[in-house]
């Protein structure tokens, strides 16, 4: 479909994605607010009223087809998704063999692996969807957070495709995509909602007030939970081919979760931040001090680790729900997404916390919890409908073009009550948050 006809049908004009100036950002002091500003003045949507609702996000008459590309970590993924919510294709090429060899993600190796398969993965996604590039309405791609070397491979491919076929391009925040894919799965899921995002690189508790508008209730001050699963699996000598998480989950079923008394992280910090570095050390010491030759003792460690790792999540979620309900009493859902959310034990335990608070748990299916292109395409669709995208790049990129990659990119501003002393030890972050950028661009239009 031609770009101009797509745009005119949606009554949108191209708009540089996430423009901001340092001055406007500095002037910004994010306060919890109602999401009433999402329709930019310059992009009058044809819909009659503006509020963040299913009508706005899923008009019956649009038929966008978006290609999503994801290369932020160790999976090379692409998918084609329709704005109606139909997933036309989903392709993931994982770097399992590299993970086994290095016991983690080595950026240079991961970059090479992405480069080797990216063309094939994208082509396969188009083939499976039975579309060609000319049928696409836009290309969405993860621009951060993640490993720069890896992000670059996806962004390069996205720009090449978009440039050759005159398609707009949407830069996507990886963690926002983990959260928003829940809206593709669960049609009833409206803003505001809460999300716990648990992956290999991040633990995040957020309050999603609107598209691109997030309050960060808690984050990881050191290692994320997925990293702890992966290292525990590696030290126990488990098969890492499907990553460490599934191996621990499986083995833990045979173990006694009470057999080793690991202590719950950050008990003394009454906030919603996470820390898994200490638990990792506890597990390593336990493994070093025990005979782990027999399967039973390995299973006991796996089960004991998993119990405490998840208790930490439960405790933080319970507190975060109280905080979130103070800000937005209408919240009904907690989304749990990211690779670790494919774990059945994690889901069952969090379901209890959520039910106790009379909320509902929304967990995407495992294939949409781990890194995938569908979540990127879908998030692209959500932003595209709001007029947030870049115009098509030139067919031939200039040699000195600098890619907009955001390896350290917070999703939202920290909730004041959630600021912990432990957090202040972290290094300064690099990129302004997605939420502050969107707010700055909206303010500029007024």
What is the smallest separation between the CB atom of 174 and Zn ion, expressed in angstroms?
6
Taking CB under 6 A as the binding criterion, the range among 7-15, 78-86, 224-232, 409-417 that sits at the site for ligand KG4 is 224-232
> Choosing among ligand KG4, Zn ion, none, which partner's interface includes residue 244 (Cβ < 5 to 8 Å by kind)?
ligand KG4
On whether the CB atoms of residues 362 and 267 are closer than 8 A, the answer is no
Q: Using CB under 6 A, which residues numbered 366 to 405 contact ligand KG4? A: 370-371
Residue 360 has phi, psi (to 5 degrees) of: -120, 140
Residue 51 has phi, psi (to 5 degrees) of: -155, 160
Residue 45 has phi, psi (to 5 degrees) of: -75, 155
Cβ neighbors of 335 (< 8 A, separation 6 or more) are: 179, 182, 189, 193, 194, 195, 196, 208, 362, 363
> What is the Cα–Cα distance from 116 to 120, expressed in whole angstroms?
8
> Choosing among ligand KG4, Zn ion, none, which partner's interface includes residue 271 (Cβ < 5 to 8 Å by kind)?
none
Taking CB under 6 A as the binding criterion, the range among 92-100, 151-159, 333-341, 385-393 that sits at the site for ligand KG4 is 333-341
Give, as one character, the DSSP assignment of residue 211. T
- Burial class (CB within 10 angstroms; exposed 0-12, middle 13-18, buried 19+) of 425: exposed
> Choosing among Zn ion, ligand KG4, none, which partner's interface includes residue 230 (Cβ < 5 to 8 Å by kind)?
ligand KG4
Taking CB under 6 A as the binding criterion, the range among 34-42, 284-292, 334-342, 423-431 that sits at the site for ligand KG4 is 334-342
243 forms part of the interface with ligand KG4 (CB under 6 A): yes
Among 93, 343, 433, 436, contact with ligand KG4 (rule: CB under 6 A) = 343
On whether the CB atoms of residues 198 and 223 are closer than 8 A, the answer is no
Among 40, 192, 210, 246, contact with ligand KG4 (rule: CB under 6 A) = 246
Could you tell me how many residues of this chain bind ligand KG4 (CB under 6 A)? 19
Nearer to ligand KG4, 243 or 275 (CB): 243
> Choosing among Zn ion, ligand KG4, none, which partner's interface includes residue 226 (Cβ < 5 to 8 Å by kind)?
ligand KG4
Question: CA torsion sign, 43 to 49 to 51 to 53?
Answer: negative
In 3D space, the residue among 166, 167, 134, 217 whose CA is nearest the CA of residue 410 turns out to be 217
In 3D space, the residue among 62, 61, 79, 59 whose CA is nearest the CA of residue 70 turns out to be 79
> Choosing among ligand KG4, Zn ion, none, which partner's interface includes residue 343 (Cβ < 5 to 8 Å by kind)?
ligand KG4
Site string for ligand KG4, 279-318 (x = CB under 6 A): ----------------------------------------
Nearer to ligand KG4, 203 or 436 (CB): 203
342 forms part of the interface with ligand KG4 (CB under 6 A): yes
- Tokens coding 8: 């005119």
Q: How many residues does the chain have?
A: 446
Residue 247 has phi, psi (to 5 degrees) of: -65, -45
CA dihedral of 128, 130, 136, 140, whole degrees rounded to 10: -10
- Compute the half-sphere exposure of residue 140: CA atoms within 13 Å on the CB side of its CA: 33
> What is the Cα–Cα distance from 438 to 20, expressed in whole angstroms?
8
What is the smallest separation between the CB atom of 121 and ligand KG4, expressed in angstroms?
15
Question: Which residue sits closest to Zn ion, CB atoms considered?
Answer: 199
> What is the Cα–Cα distance from 412 to 178, expressed in whole angstroms?
14
Nearer to ligand KG4, 57 or 231 (CB): 231
73 forms part of the interface with ligand KG4 (CB under 6 A): yes
Residue 371: how many other CB atoms lie within 10 Å = 26
Nearer to Zn ion, 225 or 303 (CB): 225
Site string for ligand KG4, 169-208 (x = CB under 6 A): ------------------------------xxx-------
> Choosing among ligand KG4, Zn ion, none, which partner's interface includes residue 229 (Cβ < 5 to 8 Å by kind)?
ligand KG4
Which stretches of the chain bind Zn ion, using CB under 5 A?
A: 199, 371
> Choosing among ligand KG4, Zn ion, none, which partner's interface includes residue 370 (Cβ < 5 to 8 Å by kind)?
ligand KG4
Helices of type H across 35-147: 54-57, 96-102, 107-129
Q: How far apart are the first and last CA of the chain?
A: 33
What is the smallest separation between the CB atom of 233 and ligand KG4, expressed in angstroms?
7
229 forms part of the interface with ligand KG4 (CB under 6 A): yes
Nearer to ligand KG4, 82 or 174 (CB): 174
230 forms part of the interface with ligand KG4 (CB under 6 A): yes
Nearer to ligand KG4, 121 or 167 (CB): 121
Residues in touch with ligand KG4 (CB under 6 A)? 73, 199-201, 226, 229-230, 243-246, 249, 338-340, 342-343, 370-371
């Amino acid at each position: 479909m031609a770009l101009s006809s797509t745009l005119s049908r949606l009554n949108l004009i191209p708009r540089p994605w996430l423009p901001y100036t340092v001055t406007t950002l500095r002037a910004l002091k994010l306060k919890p607010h109602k999401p009433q500003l999402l329709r930019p003045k310059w992009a009058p949507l044809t819909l009659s009223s503006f509020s963040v609702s299913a009508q706005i996000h899923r008009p019956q008459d649009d038929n966008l087809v978006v290609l999503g590309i994801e290369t932020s970590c160790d999976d090379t993924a692409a998918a084609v998704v329709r704005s109606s919510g139909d997933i036309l294709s989903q392709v993931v090429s994982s770097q399992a063999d590299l993970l086994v060899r290095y016991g983690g993600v080595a950026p240079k190796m991961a970059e090479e692996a992405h480069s080797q398969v990216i063309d094939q993965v994208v082509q396969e996604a188009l083939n499976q969807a039975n579309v060609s590039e000319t049928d696409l309405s836009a290309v969405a791609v993860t621009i951060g957070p993640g490993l720069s070397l890896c992000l670059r491979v996806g962004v390069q491919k996205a720009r090449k495709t978009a440039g050759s076929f005159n398609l707009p391009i949407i830069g996507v925040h990886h963690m926002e995509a983990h959260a928003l894919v829940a809206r593709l799965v669960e049609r009833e899921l409206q803003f505001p909602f809460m999300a716990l995002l648990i992956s290999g690189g991040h633990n995040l508790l957020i309050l999603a007030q609107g598209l691109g508008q997030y309050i960060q209730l808690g984050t990881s001050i050191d290692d994320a939970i997925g990293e702890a699963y992966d290292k525990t699996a590696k030290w126990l000598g488990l098969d890492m081919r499907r990553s460490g998480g599934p191996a621990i989950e499986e083995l833990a079923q045979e173990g006694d979760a009470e057999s080793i008394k690991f202590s719950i992280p950050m008990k003394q910090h009454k906030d919603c931040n996470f820390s898994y570095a200490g638990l990792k050390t506890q597990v390593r010491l336990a493994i070093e001090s025990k005979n782990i030759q027999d399967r039973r003792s390995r299973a006991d460690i796996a089960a004991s680790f998993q119990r405490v790792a998840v208790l930490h999540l439960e405790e933080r979620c319970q507190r975060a729900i109280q905080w979130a309900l103070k800000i937005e009493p209408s919240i009904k859902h907690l989304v749990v997404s990211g690779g670790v959310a494919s774990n059945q034990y994690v889901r069952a335990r969090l379901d209890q916390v959520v039910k106790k608070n009379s909320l509902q748990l929304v967990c995407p299916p495992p294939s949409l919890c781990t890194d995938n292109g569908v979540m990127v395409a879908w998030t692209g669709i959500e932003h595209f409908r709001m007029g947030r995208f870049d115009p098509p790049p030139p067919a031939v990129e200039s040699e000195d073009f600098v890619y907009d990659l955001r390896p350290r990119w917070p999703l939202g501003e920290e909730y004041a009550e959630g600021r912990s002393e432990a957090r202040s030890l972290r290094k300064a972050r690099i990129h302004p948050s997605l939420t502050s950028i969107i707010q700055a661009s909206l303010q500029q239009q007024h």
